[in-house]
Chain A
Amino acid sequence: RKEVEQDPGPFNVPEGATVAFNCTYSNSASQSFFWYRQDCRKEPKLLMSVYSSGNEDGRFTAQLNRASQYISLLIRDSKLSDSATYLCVVTRRAGGFKTIFGAGTRLFVKA
């Protein structure tokens, strides 16, 4: 079993839809959580950090559930430009720190 698991999708949604991605992590010692966005054939870029209290950035809302060991990303009012792969990222102590990337969830937003 992978340490960080995501539904690979793809999610195909119309413009204006609300879409949610979940990510589960298996190591309870995980400390920091992030969502990255990766466009086709490009490098990943930080979308948002995920805080225990939940956080929002415009149309994007991230939530963390430590008890159930999952994080989520909600995108409201989807735009064509939201089409990308969304990577769940978790860090934890392993000697120093270790950063683990999920395989990503692909999103296609259609007109």
Chain B
Amino acid sequence: DGGITQSPKYLFRKEGQNVTLSCEQNLNHDAMYWYRQDPGQGLRLIYYSQIVNDFQKGDIAEGYSVSREKKESFPLTVTSAQKNPTAFYLCASSIQQGTGEAFFGQGTRLTVV
């Protein structure tokens, strides 16, 4: 079955640690995105990528980094520079950026302990 997979589902991070969230899709989509969602709030764009080896900052990129070495994969690293990383992180993909339906992974819930 085609889809988009995020792992892990739950992640606990100690203060000062970097952690990497995985996102893999087998939909052959060019565009991939990372969003952050805080309780009772909408989705805020962290980074997006329109094509392999290219990515752009979204609205809240500070403290995060990404790579897009393969079409299928768009991992997000939450660095120690991100001061308030506890949130629900959603990865999505679409055929092209901004067009048509965006398909989401099931999300990673990150908690700083």
Contacts and interface: CB of A to CB of B under 8 A. Distances in A.
Interface residues of A, number: 24
A28 B28 CA distance: 32
Interface residues of B, number: 23
Interface in A37-61: 41-46, 49
Contacts of B41: 103
Contact of B107 (A4, A32, A43, A104): A43
B106 A44 contact: no
Q: Tell me the dominant secondary structure on chain A's binding face.
A: strand
A101 interface: yes
Interface stretch (B13-21, B69-77, B78-86, B95-103): B95-103
Given A43-B104, A101-B42, 8 more contacts: A4-B42, A41-B88, A42-B107, A44-B43, A46-B102, A98-B98, A103-B40, A103-B42
